[in-house]
Amino acid sequence: MKKVCVLGLGYVGLPISMAAAAVGYQVIGFDTHCQKVKDLNLGKTSVEGVDDKELLHLISKGNFRVTCNETELSEAEIFLICVPTPISGDFKPDFSYLDNAAKIISKKLKKGALVILESTVEPGTTRDHLLPLLEQESGLDSKDINLVFSPERIDPGNKKWNLISTPKIVAGLSSEAFELAEEFYSKFIKKIVKCNSLETAEMAKLLENTFRYVNISFINEFARICRELGIDVNEVIQAAATKPYGFMSFHPSIGAGGHCIPVDPFYLSNRAAKVGAPARFIELSKSVNQDTPLYFANLAKEKLGSLKDKHILVIGVSYKPNVSDLRESPVKVLIEELRIMGANISWHDELVREWNGEKSAPLNGDYDLAILATPHDYLNLDQLGATPILNTRSSI
């Protein structure tokens, strides 16, 4: 059986590891966080959508091994890089995790090995950054490395489109690299979509999430206009959505969160700047999304006259409904702004429970104001009694 090494065991790497192990691959999962490794080996994970019992079954069966020891990776024939590719404080790509993963892989690479990058990067990164690094660190020539870019498409909490059902974009440095990756992925993913170049696949991933980022910012600004006009933005969206062509519904929120949507567009804008192309929509969208939490903090101030010493409950702190994922959650900025304005802030989210050393507060009527930031399905807002509610998902 093929031996697979997956570097990074988060929302991307863990589901792929389990899917590959379930169809018979011998999978070694590697992560630098040794406590996470200990938990995974006990069948414990906080990754949304992963069944702890299935995880423990695969580990006990012997198809899936988890380690933080680099020396255990030497027998792998297929390497998947599923590490974070965040942005720095000045919105520039941070390749530190990618570079570290590449150096770890390079020590174990054998001629003909398949290396797949799933982490989001700017166009040209796989060919012009990752490949030279692999060559330099391993001593192999490019023709000896089957390099592939296949961007992750994980949507935490999505019950319809998961790893298996979502079409998988795949691009190889060579036709042989593509064919090897296609053979691997097709064992557990229903549809493989070939891209003719690494750069096309890299750019496709950025288009997907930049499209969402721009439209999220647009609908948030549109909702502000509706609020000033006294129009229910959700009724407007429902009416527009009856058009059977040329329209896609987006809904207002407190901003863009998650690992991908508020991050990926800046890989595109960074690359655009290098070639002298404008990325004005991305910059404008950034301005709108960064301003949205402050906008709702000011609305809270308008409702109460002053926020000093007011008791405010923020409801839902994860970045989207019905998940516990806190990555890049704009609710953090909202809470910070409210506290700067003098408010006493508690938050409620039974999916998250603990965050930044604080615990989820109960829903009750002991607050001057409640701000509905992330509306989980389990919420019963009747428990707030007469507490006024500021709904960030509406305009009235």
pLDDT in tens, 330-365: 999 999 999 999 999 999 999 999 999 999 999 999
Backbone angles phi, psi at 293, to 5 degrees: -60, -40
Structure token pair of residue 140: 């192999």
Last residue of a domain, one of 181, 196, 211: 196
Q: Which residue do the tokens 């991050």 mark?
A: 263
Last residue of a domain, one of 196, 226, 256: 196
pLDDT of amino acid 11: 93
Domain contains 343: yes
Among 125, 107, 109, which Cα is nearest to 117's?
125
Are both 157 and 23 inside the same structural domain? yes
Q: In total, how many domains does the chain have?
A: 2
pLDDT of amino acid 156: 84
Residues of the chain with pLDDT under 70: 1
Question: 56 is in which domain, residue-wise?
Answer: 3-196
Are both 106 and 7 inside the same structural domain? yes
Domain contains 207: no
Q: Full-prediction pTM beyond 0.75? A: yes
Q: How far apart are CA 135 and CA 144, in angstroms?
A: 9
Domain contains 396: no
pLDDT in tens, 57-98: 999 999 999 999 998 998 899 999 999 999 998 899 999 999
pLDDT of amino acid 56: 93
Question: Which residue in 5, 195, 226, 260 is the catalytic one?
Answer: 260
Known catalytic residue at 260: yes
Last residue of a domain, one of 196, 227, 244: 196
pLDDT of amino acid 159: 85
Q: What is the CATH number of the domain that holds 90?
A: 3.40.50.720
Contact (CB, 8 A) for 72 and 31: no
